[in-house]
Amino acid sequence: MSEEEGEKEKLLDKINNAFVDFVGNAFGESGKEWVQETQEKIKDFSSSSIKKFLEFSDDVLEKLNLHENESVIKTRDSIEDMLRQSGLLKEDEEDEF
């Protein structure tokens, strides 16, 4: 991850945290909990969608005999690593691909 991407991620984290704090201040603890639960559900949904897409892409790569192409596999693995680093793909899903 480049320094610029790292800064953007930190900024997004700050915005998310500030939003949670704002909701907590405006609507109380129940509002804050609702936002946090919603954020987690969205993250889980994103993770599930990404996992399904990667499974689909693995199937396509195999059918097109691209699973032996180093460039294609390196790119796919790179994307998978970035998704794990961002938290969108959980580490325990690694063995499922």
pLDDT tens column, 47-62: 788 888 888 888 888 8
Query: Helices (H), strands (E): how many in the chain?
Result: 2, 0
Q: How far apart are the first and last CA of the chain?
A: 23
Structure-token pair, residue 53: 């897409």
* DSSP element (H, E) containing 71: helix 70-86
- The CA distance from 80 to 38, in Å, is 24
pLDDT at 12 over 90: no
Does pTM surpass 0.95? no
Report the mean per-residue pLDDT for the chain: 82
